[in-house]
Structure 1
Amino acid sequence: MKHSKYKILVLSDLNKTASTTLKSSVSLAQMIDADIELFHVKKYIDIVNRENQLSAIRTLNDEQITTKKKIEALIDPISKAYNVSINYNYAFGNIKEEISNHIENSKPDIIVLGQRDSNPLQLIRDSITRFILKTFKGVIMISSNENALVPNEKMALGVFNDSNKIFNTEFSKDLITHTKAPLKSFKIINSQKETEKSATVKEEKIIEYVFEQNAEVMNTLSSYLLKNNINLLCVDRAEEKTKNRSEASLREVVSKLNVSLLVSEA
């Protein structure tokens, strides 16, 4: 039996964009040779509320059947279309506790989260996204519906602010192999503090776009990412010595850029 190199855990609330998130996860799994598992948690109180014990048990049993069918209806068409096995699991209870327990047991290398539908500003207020960014030390992909990854197709990979930690991972060579050339770098600078560079092609065949820091820079950057059809933007985690400043920067990137992000290990 073949064992894949890595494990990808897809955390899903089974909303209407879950299919796009799962397809992006399949695409990433194909690139780096990874197993995929989808995990869904529902609050117990959303299932059983103010009912007697016997009625609560029946309601819980019915919800288990409904949840299983809903997950399989999501997974099966994608699994068949791309000839990939997708495992799944689900739990009822406290969402953060159940997620923490599952991460501890499954020990994924990468966690995939879906971006909130149609309004990227909601993402930073998403407590689960903040929770995963804070507690999970591995690589995190936040999947967007804009220019989503497509299984069996090469992607356009971008790098934000000289991000390089992703390229120190074991799977980086596999990632680059499935990337359209050239790689594109997007950098925000303060010209009063550092010398601005013009967009150029480096020796490594990287095209660099440099933006001046101002109130509208994130909107400008977002437009350039979409114009360049970037499927995935690499972003570094905060360094400890600049933790507060870097975390604020990461929050801004997560909330304002409507593109899939690959956040480096902590």
Structure 2
Amino acid sequence: MSNETPNPKYRLLVLTDLSKASDMALRNAVQLAKAINGKVDVFHAKAPTSVVKFDNQLSAMRSIHHDYNKTQAKLENDIQELESAEGVRIGFKIAYGNVKNAIREHIKETKPDIAVLGKRKSKIIGFLGDGITNFVLNQCSTNVLITDEEQVFHSFNDLSLGIFGDAIEKQGLEILNDLSKAGNKPIKLFSVGESANANVSNQEKRTISYVFPEGSNAMDGLASYVQKTQTQLLCIPSSKNKDQGGRQRKNIIDASVRRMVQKVGIPVLFIAS
């Protein structure tokens, strides 16, 4: 039986394209919501041109109506199955129009704490390129969780957390506390260069620091240690995506960070400022 989460602390929004990767993202979002007292909603946006085959307005409306019913039936079936298995309630919405604009407006309207997207294995090289993922990271002011299509968490309790940086910064501290409060594992800090600040904003949190010397292979070494230390979730604060003058980079993920994210093979949480 599905139950509404009482007074949820966090709102999670799964952006789905109905793929296997999106299905895994939804399943991971449900587990995350259960761990941090969250509520999950699903949003699916589709361009009318992908549905409408004829210029006739009446035929176009019929095509969209037919596609809406088909999409609604699939979402309802998938969601009801998950609700029954996990004892949660999941809302959903379907929209037709420019996909990026629809996503931006929906996020602006609903103000989720975390947007959740799935990463397809076949598109691992380009998943932080010019598509929806990069658009959400650049244009939408929210935390973004990217999950892998082949990795489903049975629970986010006692999670092994890693942070890209030499300290736990104030931004995102609350959600990191909520993620780590159920377990006793120390938080791992992965950084490149001299670590002038190996302490932590919240002194109650135990940390282990891994510092890698600067160089062309620094990110490869960092990614390797993320895997070796069995880190299950890597958090990347937005401060790591600013230039030396403190300005946010136009492309939120630079090439070296993108390469590292591609190699770690675990869910990544980008923490907004």
Whether these two folds match at TM > 0.5 is: yes
1:84 maps to which residue?
88
Once the two structures are TM-superposed, the CA of residue 160 in structure 1 deviates from its matched residue by 1.1
Distance 1:234 1:96 in 2: 25
Letter in 2 for 1:105: E
Once the two structures are TM-superposed, the CA of residue 204 in structure 1 deviates from its matched residue by 4.3
What is the aligned length? 259
Distance 1:229 1:145 in 2: 18
Q: Given the alignment, which residue of 31, 34, 40 partners 1:36?
A: 40
Letter in 2 for 1:70: K
1:69 maps to which residue?
73
Q: 1:163 to 1:113 in 2, by over 3 A?
A: farther
1:154 maps to which residue?
158
Q: Secondary structure at the match of 1:68?
A: helix
More divergent stretch after superposition (215-224 vs 58-67): 215-224
Distance 1:228 1:18 in 2: 27
Q: Secondary structure at the match of 1:124?
A: coil
Q: 1:154 to 1:9 in 2, by over 3 A?
A: same
Distance 1:134 1:197 in 2: 28
Check conservation: 2:51, 2:63, Cα contact below 8 A: yes
1:216 maps to which residue?
217
The residue correspondences of 1:131-146 to structure 2 (distance < 5 A) are: 131-145=135-149
Once the two structures are superposed, residues 46-89 of structure 1 have per-residue CA deviations (whole angstroms, 9 ceiling, x without a partner) of 00033422222221111011101221232222222111111111
Q: Secondary structure at the match of 2:20?
A: coil
More divergent stretch after superposition (69-78 vs 218-227): 218-227
Distance 1:187 1:68 in 2: 44
Check conservation: 1:166, 1:236, Cα contact below 8 A: no
Once the two structures are superposed, residues 129-171 of structure 1 have per-residue CA deviations (whole angstroms, 9 ceiling, x without a partner) of 1111112222111112465433364321111122534665433
Once the two structures are TM-superposed, the CA of residue 207 in structure 1 deviates from its matched residue by 2.0
Check conservation: 2:166, 2:189, Cα contact below 8 A: yes
Q: 1:76 to 1:223 in 2, by over 3 A?
A: farther
Check conservation: 2:115, 2:144, Cα contact below 8 A: yes
Once the two structures are TM-superposed, the CA of residue 261 in structure 1 deviates from its matched residue by 1.1
Once the two structures are superposed, residues 112-136 of structure 1 have per-residue CA deviations (whole angstroms, 9 ceiling, x without a partner) of 1112324421112242111111122
Check conservation: 2:145, 2:269, Cα contact below 8 A: yes
Distance 1:166 1:72 in 2: 39
More divergent stretch after superposition (57-66 vs 209-218): 209-218
Distance 2:252 2:101 in 1: 27
Q: Secondary structure at the match of 2:59?
A: helix
Residue 59 in structure 1 maps to residue 63 in structure 2: yes
Q: 1:176 to 1:203 in 2, by over 3 A?
A: closer
More divergent stretch after superposition (39-48 vs 120-129): 120-129
Once the two structures are TM-superposed, the CA of residue 105 in structure 1 deviates from its matched residue by 1.7
More divergent stretch after superposition (121-130 vs 40-49): 121-130
Q: 1:164 to 1:137 in 2, by over 3 A?
A: farther
Once the two structures are TM-superposed, the CA of residue 17 in structure 1 deviates from its matched residue by 1.8
2:266 maps to which residue?
259
Distance 1:163 1:116 in 2: 31
Distance 1:5 1:122 in 2: 33
More helix by share: 1
Q: Secondary structure at the match of 1:27?
A: helix
User: TM-score by structure 2 length?
Assistant: 0.83
Q: 1:168 to 1:98 in 2, by over 3 A?
A: closer
Check conservation: 1:159, 1:186, Cα contact below 8 A: yes
Q: Once the two structures are aligned, what percentage of the paired residues are identical?
A: 32
1:226 maps to which residue?
227
More divergent stretch after superposition (68-77 vs 169-178): 169-178
